[in-house]
Structure 1
């Protein structure tokens, strides 16, 4: 297991964290716009949110303001925007509800793994690159689908491409989940053998 990260503070009111909070506040706005079928302004909100995501990460590193709260807010915001896009599109019968269930079920699965790890004295598993790739694919595929809805002239190209990326992202999402489950089983097994709980606090899994 990795050692505890250094240079991570417990501060709350930093500029990067404020940007992350603002991004979270835009989630319900984004959801309402998608449900109402206002895809152009919804995409504008998403672009603004994506820009603040890049900006707060840059500022956190540049200003030395990497915080534990920020490490939680960033992945939480990404997931909420994915969920909002899925729920909004499904509510308008533009995507099937089964894909909403698939994505949400995977994150509930990670919550269960987190509880298991906590019971054995571990924090969440470190971010896996596959999890990052899955989140990126979903965060790309769904807006591409929305792009075709906002601009119908693009739909013949954007819809199949967006669906391909989204389905691939869902597959990677669960693949990463299986990897986290295997790692969790390994950690629990090693803890039982050693008889000592871990003291590591790790970054949230993606």
Structure 2
């Protein structure tokens, strides 16, 4: 049996380290333009992203804090990468804006979910696939910021993953919105349900 209210767990420490890497990544990309070190930060982030979930299950240390930290860290890394790459003119601003706009849509659904007594919807496979594509696309695009065969190949594969990732990201967002619409139609507001239960 696990205590889901625990804060200080190994997976949560890893998630906190991931979050600490976000400003470090931005500084490396925008300050000294140390792309190699920036890529190393992204690789460590990807490794800790895998490890925190695996360890949470293995050590029976799943927690409410961990369930919040993990997707927050994913979103912040994606945001940091797109802002950094857009400021470096590696990707266009329309692409950089499309991802936060989708996240704004998702945040706009949270009050609707809460009105029905839910805090979030289960993570959909498409959302995970989109995040996977994007977390591989942006390092490749960063590697592609140069000349020669290597950077050119990195750009090609980076853009392929980015296009798929953005399409899946928005598709998952539309599916989440559809799920919320169905939930709103199928359930009564929480206050009304509580009042009916008290009668």
The answer to whether TM tops 0.5 is: yes
Q: Name the structure 2 match of 1:110.
A: 106
1:152 Cα deviation from its structure 2 partner: 5.0
CA distance in 2, matches of 1:185, 1:60: 32
1:75 Cα deviation from its structure 2 partner: 1.1
Q: Name the structure 2 match of 1:202.
A: none
Structure 2: unaligned runs, 5 residues or longer: 195-199
1:150 Cα deviation from its structure 2 partner: 7.0
Q: Name the structure 1 match of 2:87.
A: 91
Provide TM-score, normalisation by structure 2.
Answer: 0.90
CA distance in 1, matches of 2:37, 2:15: 20
1:25 Cα deviation from its structure 2 partner: 0.6
CA distance in 1, matches of 2:4, 2:55: 14
Q: Name the structure 1 match of 2:193.
A: 196
- Preserved contact between residue 144 and residue 162 of structure 1 (Cα < 8 Å): yes
CA distance in 2, matches of 1:150, 1:58: 36
Instruction: Note if 1:20 corresponds to 2:15.
Output: yes
**Which is greater in Rg?**
2
Structure possessing the higher relative contact order (Cα contacts under 8 Å, 6 or more residues apart)? 1
Provide TM-score, normalisation by structure 1.
Answer: 0.87
Taking the TM superposition and a 5 Å limit, the aligned residue runs for 1:24-63 are 24-36=19-31, 37-63=33-59
